[in-house]
Amino acid sequence: MSDNPAEDPRTGDDVSRDGPSVREYRIGELARAAGIPVRTLRYYQERKLLPPPRRAGRIGLFSEDHLARLRMIGDLLERGHTLEGIRELLSAWEQGHDIEAVLGVEKAVTTPWSTETPVTMSVDEMAALFPGEIDEAVIERAVRLGHIRIDGDRVTHWSRRQLDATVTLVRAGVPLAEVLSVSQELQRSMDDLASMFVRLITRHVVARLAEEDLDRLTEVLGQLRPGARLSVEAAFARSMDRQVRAEVDRVLGRLAGPAA
């Protein structure tokens, strides 16, 4: 009886008394199995997204694990991940973390906090909202601050709610240029506040749970979202109450004149 392995007619794999052998691919075969060009596969190798193949002389032989890795990369690319982000995810996977748990954390972290609805209009329509307030300098400043973007003769404001609030302020008599100045200062304050929250959560939550339970970390991060919003809204409302009351008292005191 020959010791040479026979071919399984169903799969084309070599078989022996111990069962099917491990399937291996040359680089062209692996690329075809994964449905990608060879040059893409080589690029993934250069970016360290694939472990090196087994060497048989001058020939590199890839395994089913390489094929599974390529399919995972394709899935992650379709989800919108960058290659650098995929490399980091795969690194976490190689360190023993479940890839779905890692993706759950990433989704919890990167899901946009903003739920604002953009609004698009013509330049003339925008000018009609702010009569006598729109000129080239104001438009350039609004673009620079990220409030609007220009595409030909169309203008898109990032938030319908903020646009409505700005219109209300201007119609009440506040110059548009002053609204933009306050908006710039407000954004700086919000950036500082967001940075503070991120540091707080990273130090006390992420650092503790990342090594223990990624599913629990995903859950906690989801719970923190509404809490962070409510904290900011409550603090701002309280500050407005104090500031408005102080200003009203000052104005009323001035109207009343000096005490007799």
What CATH number corresponds to the domain at position 50? 1.10.1660.10
Cβ proximity of 50 and 44 under 8 Å: yes
Q: 136 and 192, same structural domain?
A: yes
Is 238 a member of any domain? no
> Residue 31: what pLDDT?
94
The pLDDT tens digits for 171-180 are 999 999 999 9
DSSP annotation of 130 reads S
> Residue 110: what pLDDT?
58
Q: 194 and 129, same structural domain?
A: yes
Q: Angle CA(218)–CA(222)–CA(223) in degrees, nearest 5?
A: 120
Strand order in the sheet with 14-16: 6-7, 14-16, 19-20
Structural domains in the chain (count): 2
Range of the domain at 149: 119-218
The pLDDT tens digits for 51-72 are 899 999 999 999 998 998 898 8
Is 106 a member of any domain? no
Q: 132 and 51, same structural domain?
A: no
What pTM did the predictor assign? Answer: 0.55
**Strands 154-157, 119-122: pairing kind:** antiparallel
The pLDDT tens digits for 74-127 are 888 887 778 887 887 777 666 666 666 666 656 665 566 777 899 999 999 999
